[in-house]
Amino acid sequence: MSDLDSMKTDALGRIDAAADLDALEGLRVEFLGKQGSISGLLKTLGKMSPEERQERAPAIQGLREAVADALGARKALLEAAELELRLATETLDLTLPAPEAPQGSVHPVSQVMDELAEIFADLGFAVATGPEIEDDWYNFTALNMPESHPARAMHDTFYFPDTAPKGGRMLLRTHTSPVQVRTMMADGAPVRIIAPGRVYRSDSDATHTPMFHQVEGLVIDKYIHLGHLKWTLETFLKAFFETDDIVLRLRPSYFPFTEPSVEVDVGFAIDDKGKRILGGSGDEPGHGWMELLGSGMVNRRVIAMSGLDPDQYQGFAFGVGVDRLAMLKYGMDDLRAFFDGDVRWLQHYGFSAYDQPTLSGGVGAGA
Ligand code: DAH
């Protein structure tokens, strides 16, 4: 027995003297590791006669336990000492001034989405979302674009190889319009939502990127007509551009999911530097009309495919590019820079996180 006793005395003495956590870990491996001395003793038990084992086993187990306990106790002590030392040496001076410039800025796309949410919340609209990986039934079919519809070809769609639950293929949504269908199916009527988000098309140049942002608007109720659409768009654009001098021109157009469809132009003037300034009728001399968004009365077929009765409910929808709104309001001219992540661009065009858009402050306050 004296061999185990002396092993114990030696081990406990060395554990007690371990100066730091690294040294302690070295001792743990030496005694209890796979190749450790105590582990080696435990392995000898298997080869002993039953009588011998009955005598030696409790002693070896006792040694293992005593060493493990000592290791644990010493570890707790060393850790506490280490923490004490850190607390004594590290200081935190709460009286120091804040850093000179706040780090980071709000991207113009996020800023414009916040502004839109603020403006439309005031008009009683909720914010809805839908998936960016979409089923082609929601992206096309339910929006009155069946399999062979020529409008599908205009969307330069990114398809996935997977078959979608509703039969077609999965795709990256090409517009935010599928959120119209999802919202009507999930919530029924009445509906008053905007749906901002990312959309994807296989297209790339100074004014097109494969991913861009849209905001969809949808109002469904009884007795909704084109007048409501025009008033809503006018109110929204005046609040967004922070001027009452916004003149809209509604032009007949075609979208499969609206009937009738209207494209909305906004009048602009040209300043002495040749820059377009929104405001005034585009018909005045030296002025012009700029196409801004697509809209219309929601097609009966879309309302029916979304599970509502088109004889009872009707409404209007619109879709507009968020990036384009940001460019017009804040004066950027290259869309690609939006997605380069260049910190100099972000410092120049970004917004302070402290400037929450509010209607009372003018939604673009801080710009
Ligand atoms: N989804 C159309 C697009 O991406 C935009 C659009 C046009 C949306 C008319 C609408 C609408 O809701 O009524 O080109």
Name residue 13's amino acid: G
Do 150 and 254 touch, CB atoms closer than 8 A? no
The pLDDT value recorded for residue 255 is 95
- How far is 338 from 342, CA to CA, in rounded Å? 9
Please indicate whether residue 175, judged by its CB atom, sits closer than 6 Å to ligand 1: yes
Calculate the average pLDDT of the chain. 92
- How far is 165 from 152, CA to CA, in rounded Å? 19
- The per-residue pLDDT for range 52-66, each reduced to its tens digit, is 999 889 999 999 999
- How far is 271 from 293, CA to CA, in rounded Å? 23
Sheet of 133-135, strands arranged across: 133-135, 169-172, 159-163
| Structure tokens, 195 | 């749906």
- The per-residue pLDDT for range 158-208, each reduced to its tens digit, is 999 878 787 788 999 999 999 999 999 999 999 999 999 999 999 888 788
Top pLDDT among 336 and 213 is at 213
- Taking phi first (over 0 means left), then psi (-120 to 50 degrees means alpha), and beta for anything else, what does residue 45 get? alpha
Position 365 pLDDT exceeds 60? no
Position 243 pLDDT exceeds 80? yes
Please indicate whether residue 209, judged by its CB atom, sits closer than 6 Å to ligand 1: no
> If you take atom 5 of ligand 1, which residue's CA is the nearest one?
319
Q: 108-237+312-349 — its CATH code?
A: 3.30.930.10
Q: How confident is the model at residue 357 (pLDDT cuts 50, 70, 90)?
A: confident
Please indicate whether residue 177, judged by its CB atom, sits closer than 6 Å to ligand 1: yes
Do 175 and 155 touch, CB atoms closer than 8 A? yes
The pLDDT value recorded for residue 182 is 98
What ranges do the domains of the chain cover?
Answer: 2-89, 108-237+312-349
CA 255 to ligand 1 center in whole angstroms? 7
Position 342 pLDDT exceeds 80? yes
CA 319 to ligand 1 center in whole angstroms? 4
The pLDDT value recorded for residue 101 is 66
Provide the pairing of β-strand 126-127 with 191-200.
parallel
